[in-house]
A and B are shown apart, each in its own frame.
Chain A
Amino acid sequence: MAAKLALEGVGKRFVKPLDLASRAANLLGAGVNETIIDAVDGVDLCVNAGEVVGLVGESGCGKTTLGRIVAGILPPSRGQVRYSGHTREQLVARGGRKALLKTQMIFQDPMASLNPRMRIADIIGEAPVVHGIISRGERADYVGALLVRVGLDPADKSRYPHQFSGGQRARIGIARALAVKPDLLVCDESVAALDVSIKAQVLNLFMQLRRDLALTYLFISHDLGVVEHIADRTVIMYLGRIVEIAPTAELFGAPNHPYTRALIANVPRLNARKHRFAPLKGEIPSALNPPSGCAFHPRCPFAIARCRVERPALVEIAPGRSSACHLNATAAASAALPSSEKLV
């Protein structure tokens, strides 16, 4: 059976074209180049039906761009995105635009992604009517049922987004995505803006919906605690590339890539009392000017000469686990690595 979602060598390059002044300068031999950013570079990823895959990384690592490519909002510059084995073009050829509805996205900021001038009955009910999933007459009941499913009061359906609290708006965003009966949801930092007690409510809702509707999630977040709680498998991204993929429990129990180890070691924990924080040096480099070789080598405490020149490939290190690190290649070097338990 084909995976629900398969990314093959997906890349996204943003190019800022030269403006008039730079082009004029180039005529005079200034040699100004276009600004090129490889936001996502050579990503291979498989998501099976019914699975929750957590996508983790710091700001600027390309996780949102990747989510948008999966949701079909951005076209990839390179590579293929297959949904149950078919590309978008094949899906459209077979089932028309309706076939694309199976992938939906839930955005970070519900205030920015809900039209402030529409009532929520229209926000949620518009798409299913347009796509012919329900008739106009069925809309009121359909929206009411969706609101109940996400834990809102159907009596509120003629209100506007600003009349709801942050947690309720997040639920409206979820109801809107569910309205077209998707089976793959891309959740981009969907709980990041919520207060602690509300975040727990929305996370519980995500897990409930997954059981009830057999949904598959690509769950994008910078919050490792949230991903550890909800994801079956976790993907760590750094500067546009995947550095590690592993089942969540194994990844948090025994992280392989030095970046993953640093991330996990830096998560504040409730049971960590009054301790010295032992931070990772430096910051995530600019995608405008990525380091040579392994993008992580300037911050990596274990970097060797090879890391500076050769980019490590994502290779399988154990069944179901992949990591992109040269240290795994040389047995001698991996023996030199301190055990991950000490770091975590």
Chain B
Amino acid sequence: MSQPILAVANLRTHFFARAGVIKAVDGVSFTLRAGEVLGLVGESGSGKSVTACSILSLIDEPGRIVAGSIQLDGEELVGCAEARMRSLRGCKIAMIFQDPMMTLNPVLRIDTQMIEAITAHEKVSRRAARERAQRALEAVGIASAPERLRAYPHQFSGGMRQRVAIAIALLHRPQVLIADEPTTALDVTIQSQILAEVQGLCAESGTALVWITHDLAVVAGLADRIAVMYAGRIVEQGPVDAVFARPLHPYTRGLIGSLPVPGQRDAPLTQIPGAPPSPARLPPGCAFAPRCGRADAACAAAPDMIDHEPGHAVRCWHPDLQSKAMA
């Protein structure tokens, strides 16, 4: 088995707000091998975006990585010098954000932004950089790339802007690409196009992918492994087939059950009672216990992540070991 390209161990990112310490990410561990696709699933406020930003050292005051280790290809990123981080970001590790209108500079043309991204990491002539930018746009399926290079971000549709963002992220063939809900704002047919592009490009360049989403159905068709986050922790992690066929954590089970399934029209959906807790006021012990049907006295203490099958781990005192196949 090859070395993991990205190893996150016991990552804790806390925000020191006036109202108290917000433990947005509280002990997240996962590894990613070259070419692997990890789906990081969770609801709003579960800490999935903060995890992504922590990996790229994009956490601003009052937030801070208080503990843990992030190793990219053997190099420790926690506490790494900002200058070194700058040379890694966009080169060995890149990120795509949810809203490309927020990440592309609205007053610069696409070519300016792409050429800047190329020359920031490599000594190449502007002409060579422009040619590479053009090829990158063509690779993500943008027609008439030479003309589109001279356009401004607002002249692109939402799907096209996301393609440009993907083209920029993949310019340096990063080892790891982190995609934070990049298709959430897009229509179904456009989402499918973007998924197909990313899938093809990552397979081609051997880029490992962390796909962050709240939509289980998207990662079902894309990921090799799935990690489900709840209240700042990964509560279940495993191969995509195992997690969907035998969800061990009651929360994962609830999430899968709450999705409408074809052929069960009008049947009430399984619902998880209550709402996710605020990260500022996490319940003690297992954070899911107040919403959980299986909770008892043992849940007052925080459970550890335990392997129940090879590679399929769950953080629960009462995992659903007898569960029938779902979905």
Contact = CB atoms under 8 A, between A and B. Distances in A.
Contact of B269 (A200, A224, A228): A200
Contacts of B265: 228-230, 248-249
Interface string B208-246: 000000111110111110000000000000001100100
A271 B199 CA distance: 18
A276 B196 contact: yes
B268 to A, nearest CB: 5
Interface string B41-55: 001100000000000
B260 interface: yes
B250 to A, nearest CB: 11
B215 A268 contact: yes
Interface stretch (B67-75, B77-85, B94-102, B251-259): B251-259
A270 B271 contact: no
B191 A266 contact: yes
B221 A229 contact: no
A197 B266 contact: no
A167 interface: yes
A249 B263 CA distance: 8
A222 B215 CA distance: 14
A225 interface: yes
B188 A270 contact: no
Interface residues of B, number: 49
Interface in A160-212: 165-168, 195-201, 203-204, 207
A195 B276 contact: yes
A277 B159 contact: no
A200 B271 contact: yes
A199 B259 CA distance: 9
B269 A195 contact: no
A166 B188 CA distance: 23
A341 interface: no
B192 A266 contact: yes
A271 B327 contact: yes
A197 B217 contact: no
Interface stretch (A119-127, A279-287, A331-339): A279-287
Contacts of B304: none
B19 interface: no
Interface in B175-196: 187-193, 195-196
B119 interface: no
Contacts of B269: 200, 203-204, 229
Nearest to B272: A197
Contacts of A272: 217, 220-221
Nearest to B265: A229
A262 interface: yes
B264 interface: yes
B188 A58 contact: yes
Interface string A227-248: 0111000000000000000001
Nearest to B193: A279
Interface in B262-312: 262, 264-266, 268-272, 275-276
B188 A274 contact: no
B144 interface: no
Contacts of B195: 268, 277, 279
| Most B C-beta atoms less than 10 A away, residue of A207, A262, A279, A283 | A279
A277 B192 contact: yes
B128 interface: no
Given A196-B255, A197-B43, A277-B195, A222 B187 contact: yes
Given A197-B43, A228-B260, A273 B220 contact: yes
B189 A58 contact: yes
A269 interface: yes
Contacts of A167: 275
B261 interface: yes
Nearest to A210: B266
B268 A268 contact: no
A269 B270 contact: no
A269 B258 contact: no
A249 B265 CA distance: 8
A274 B223 CA distance: 6
Nearest to B183: A268
A280 B271 contact: no
Interface in A256-313: 262-263, 266-280, 283-284
B190 A276 contact: no
| Most A C-beta atoms less than 10 A away, residue of B195, B217, B255 | B217
B162 to A, nearest CB: 12
A195 B259 CA distance: 11
B322 interface: no
A119 B214 CA distance: 31
A198 B273 CA distance: 9
Contact of B214 (A195, A201, A268, A280): A195
Interface of B: 43-44, 157-160, 187-193, 195-196, 199, 214-218, 220-224, 240-241, 244, 254-262, 264-266, 268-272, 275-276, 327
Q: Please give me the 10 A-B residue pairs with the lowest Cβ-Cβ distance, nearest first.
A: A200-B258, A229-B260, A268-B217, A277-B196, A266-B192, A58-B187, A200-B269, A279-B193, A195-B43, A279-B192
21 contacts: A58-B188, A59-B158, A195-B43, A196-B214, A196-B258, A196-B259, A204-B269, A207-B266, A228-B262, A229-B265, A266-B192, A267-B188, A268-B215, A270-B259, A270-B261, A271-B220, A274-B240, A276-B196, A277-B196, A280-B193, A283-B159
Given A201-B272, A225-B259, A277-B193, 19 more contacts: A59-B187, A196-B215, A196-B259, A197-B43, A200-B257, A200-B258, A200-B272, A204-B269, A222-B188, A224-B188, A229-B261, A230-B266, A268-B195, A270-B261, A273-B241, A274-B221, A274-B222, A275-B221, A280-B193
